[in-house]
Structure 1
Amino acid sequence: MPVLCRPAVNVPEHIITAEQTLALAERQHAGHDQLALVLRLIRNTGVSKRHIIQPIEETLRHPGFEERNRIYEVQAKQRVPDVVRRALDHAELATDEIDAIIYVSCTGFMMPSLTAWLINRMGFRPDTRQLPIAQLGCAAGGAAINRAHDFCVAHPGKNVLIVSCEFCSLCYQPTDLDIGSLLSDGLFGDAVAAAVVRGQGGRGLGLERNASYLIPHTEKWISYAVKPTGFHFRLDKRVPTTMEPLAPVLRDLAAAHGWDASRLGFYIIHAGGPRILDDLCRFLDVEPQAFRHSRATLTQYGNIASAVVLDALGRLFEEGGAPDGAPGIIAGFGPGITAEMAVGRWVDAPVPDLAAHYATGRRTAAMPAARRVGPPASQTAGRWPVPQA
């Protein structure tokens, strides 16, 4: 069973707080006839701070699309290698043990993809498969996990590296004054994340089934208008209502696997905004605490696009993980409106056949002993179906 191992996440050093965001909005848009509404919507996001790759003074300037894309490339090459190394360490693998790299980003453009640069600079094998995903927005994190799962099923024992690089601050457009754009200015943050899906062994989310779904006739609800000044984000006011049609899709995915989506052991959900999480809690009939990891990502980092699901999963690891065998779901939502979803069980075990692993002569980190994590069985009885062998 392919296992999604512990992610590595990096957020930039420059921080803008909610108070600073509100003050900037009041100063930059003092004459806006709907400023009061904008300020209220930004407050309601629940975002306390965001991290950005440049100081706010530089972020607010627009040096042109060409310069912004140059900044994207420079910053990506500076920041991605570290998270890749840490993700490989978490998975107990070396670069030459990776068989495919999936790179997701919707905030800059490179050709060839950063995957080629990583292969050349970090010691990945020349025959490493490359799969860049550029146009799924926030859903791309879930899509990357699903495509990695598919690859590992098609190629048993192979390993896939997922990399997410999102510099949303480079998409700030000072001339976009519609409500959706101004709300986005107070919602999105920057982050880089990486994780490995191991084809065999590893500890984390054992991937068992995945699915994609597109809500018909909603392709204009989240989009980019590409202009000489770059990417102009478009957000329809109906986007927060999308959990009502998507919740049954999540239920159906769990049911197809013999599970009840209301009684899972853990939930890793894309935190597009607070209403997304609130509505999904209601439609799936789960307690708000079930989405605590997604809410923490939103509060501390804002919406970091495709990196959200990896950061939220990382927070589950920081909490100690889930009980061995606990069923869970991971889902990302984005343009389309598209949902990328997967279900699986928590795998809490060391890499099997450690002697054979060392015998390959490849570098591997020290292996921790297996342990059960999470609450005792007496506290979890009845919460989810007993996993079948």
Structure 2
Amino acid sequence: MSTLCKPSVSVPEQVITMEETLDFAARVHAGKPQLPLALRLIRNTGVLKRHIVQPIEETLRHPGLEARNRVYEIESKKRCPAVIESALRNAGVGVGDIDAIIYVSCTGFLMPSLTAWLINAMGFRSGTRQIPIAQLGCAAGAAAINRAHDFCLAYPEANVLIVSCELCSLCYQPTDDGVGSLLSDGLFGDAVAAAVVRGSGGTGISLERNGSYLIPHTEDWISYAVRSTGFHFQLDRRVPGTMEPLAPVLRELVTAHGWDVGNLDYYIIHAGGPRILSDLSKYLGVDLAMFRHSWATLTEYGNIASAVVFDALRRLFDEDTMLSGATGLVAGFGPGITAEMAVGSWTTDDFERDLLAATRAAATATTATATAATERAIV
């Protein structure tokens, strides 16, 4: 089975708080009849702060699509390599071990894909497969995990690198004042994430089954209108209610695997907004506390699109509470309305487990020795 290893995640240095978001929204869109509703919705997102690649003054200006896309290119090339190097270290592999790179982003456009630049700039093999995914929005992170799993099923010894680069702030449109657009202005943040799926070995989620589902006739509920000024985000008011029809799909996938969806050990869920998590808690019969990693991502970073699942998973690794065999679910939701889902159990690489045990034992012994020395000195 392929293993999804610990992700690496980085957010930009510029920070905007909830209070600053409400202030600029009230100032820029003053007098618009839908503003009070939008401000109330932004307050209810639970997002305390977000990180963006440019100062807010520059973000609020619109220099044109060409200039914005140039910023996307510069920032993605500046930020991705360090995150990738960290993800490779987390997985215990090097650039020469990667057989495919899946690059996901819905916030800028490059052709060739950034994968070509990464292969040349970072020394990946020229035979590395390139799999860019550009139009699945927030669902693309989970979709990339599923396609990496599929690749490793076809090539059992392969390793797949996933890179998510979402610079959502570059899609801000100052003239858009619909409720959906205003809400997105207070919800989305910027982030870069990377993770490796190993065909064999590694510590993390052993990917065992995946699935996709499209809610019929909802393709215009989340969309981009592509205009001369770039991507204009469009959000239908019915989107927050989509967990009711999707929850049975998640349940069916987990049940088909022989597990109980309400009694798993971990849940890595795309937190597009607070209602997604509260509704899934209700419809799946899961304690809301089980979504704590997704909540933390939403609170601290906002909706970082396809990178959400990787940040939530990183937090699960950092918590260091998973035992081998622990069962879990990964799910992302996006335009379509599309759900990408995977189930898997926690696995620990034998070498890594033994190394960790030895490290902890050495640390305990060192502490005991130091304590004994201190006690002798006191006596």
CA distance in 1, matches of 2:81, 2:8: 11
CA drift at 1:295: 0.4
Structure 2: how far apart are the matches of 1:36 and 1:61? 23
Matched, 1:161 2:154: no
Structure 2 residue aligned with 1:209: 209
User: What is residue 253 of structure 1 aligned with on the other side?
Assistant: 253
Deviation at 1:324, TM superposition (A): 1.3
**Deviation of 1:199 (Å):** 0.4
Q: Which amino acid aligns with 1:318?
A: D
Distance 2:357 2:146 in 1: 28
Residue number in structure 2 paired with 1:322:
322
Give the SS at the match of 1:208.
strand
Q: Assess if the C-alpha contact under 8 Å between 2:4 and 2:204 holds in 1.
A: yes
Cα deviations by residue, 1:305-332 (Å, 9 ceiling, x for unpaired): 0000000000000100422101100000
Residues 89 and 211 of structure 1: CA distance in aligned 2, closer, same or farther (over 3 Å): same
Q: What SS is found at the alignment partner of 1:217? A: strand
TM-score by length of 2: 0.93
My pick for the range that moved more, 27-36 or 340-349, is 27-36
| Counterpart residue identity of residue 141, structure 1 | G
Equivalence for 1:296? 296
Contact 2:12–2:53 at 8 Å: present in 1 too? yes
Pairing 1:355-366 to 2, within 5 Å after superposition: none
Q: Counterpart in 1 of 2:373?
A: none
Contact 2:34 2:178 (C-alpha < 8 Å) held by counterparts: no
SS in 2 for 1:150: helix
Equivalence for 1:15: 15
Q: What is the aligned partner in structure 1 of residue 135 from structure 2?
A: 135
CA distance in 1, matches of 2:24, 2:74: 27
Distance 1:96 1:369, change over 3 A: farther
The Cα of 1:367 is off from its aligned counterpart by 5.2
Q: Where in structure 2 are the equivalents of 1:229-244 lying within 5 Å?
A: 229-244=229-244
Count of equivalent residues:
360
Match of 1:67 in 2: 67
Identity %: 71
Cα distance change on mapping 1:369 and 1:333 into 2, 3 Å: same
Q: Which amino acid aligns with 2:160?
A: V
Paired residues of 1:348 and 1:370 also in contact (CA < 8 A): no
Equivalent AA in structure 1 for residue 285 of structure 2: D
Q: Are the aligned partners of 1:202 and 1:351 in contact in 2 as well (CA < 8 Å)? A: no
AA of the residue aligned to 2:70: R
Structure 1 residue 112: Cα displacement: 0.5
Residues 234/371 of structure 1: CA separation in 2 closer, same or farther (3 Å cut): farther
Normalised TM-score (structure 1): 0.91
8 Å Cα contact 1:17/1:48 also seen in 2 = yes
Matches within 5 A, 1:1-389: 1-351=1-351, 368-369=356-357
The structure with the largest alpha-carbon Rg is: 2
Q: Structure 1's 262 and 192: CA in aligned 2 closer, same or farther, altered over 3 A?
A: same
Query: Displacement, 1:371?
Result: 10
Q: Which residue type is aligned with residue 57 of structure 1?
A: E
Deviates more, 1:21-30 or 1:219-228: 21-30
d(CA) in 2 for partners of 1:334 and 1:108? Answer: 17
Q: Which amino acid aligns with 2:25?
A: A
Indicate the larger mover: 151-160 or 318-327: 318-327
Q: Distance in 1 between matches of 2:151 and 2:38?
A: 43
Distance 1:210 1:174 in 2: 39
Structure 1 distance, partners of 2:28, 2:94, is 48
SS in 1 for 2:261: coil
| Distance in 2 separating the partners of 1:348 and 1:48 | 34
Does the 8 Å contact 1:143/1:332 carry over to 2? yes
Q: CA deviation at 1:116?
A: 0.5
Provide the C-alpha distance between the structure 2 equivalents of 1:371 and 1:208, rounded to a whole number of angstroms: 30
The answer as to whether partners of 1:350 and 1:368 remain within 8 angstroms in 2 is: no
Residues 255 and 81 of structure 1: is their aligned pair in 2 closer, same or farther, counting only changes over 3 Å?
A: same
- Aligned-pair CA distance for 1:103: 0.1
Cα distance change of structure 1 residues 212 and 20 upon mapping to structure 2, 3 Å threshold: same
d(CA) in 2 for partners of 1:76 and 1:299? 24
Question: Take 1:134 and 1:350, find their aligned partners in 2: how far apart are those partners?
Answer: 37
Task: Note closer, same or farther for the CA distance 1:52–1:197 as it changes in structure 2 (3 Å cut).
Answer: same
- Alpha-carbon separation, structure 2, partners of 1:30 and 1:176: 13
Task: Output one character per residue of 1:57-113: Cα deviation in whole Å (capped at 9) or x when no partner.
Answer: 000000000010000000000000000000000000000000000000000000000
The Cα shift of 1:222 comes to 0.2
Give the CA RMSD over aligned residues: 1.5
What SS is found at the alignment partner of 1:337? strand
**Matched residue, 1:376:** none
Distance (Å, rounded) in 1 between the aligned partners of 2:333 and 2:272: 8
SS at match of 2:217: coil
Q: Check conservation: 1:350, 1:369, Cα contact below 8 A.
A: no
List alignment gaps of at least 5 residues for structure 1: 355-365, 373-389
Letter paired with 2:81: P
Could you tell me how far apart the structure 2 residues matched to 1:300 and 1:64 are? 29
> Cα gap change, 1:122/1:350 in structure 2, threshold over 3 Å: closer, same or farther?
farther
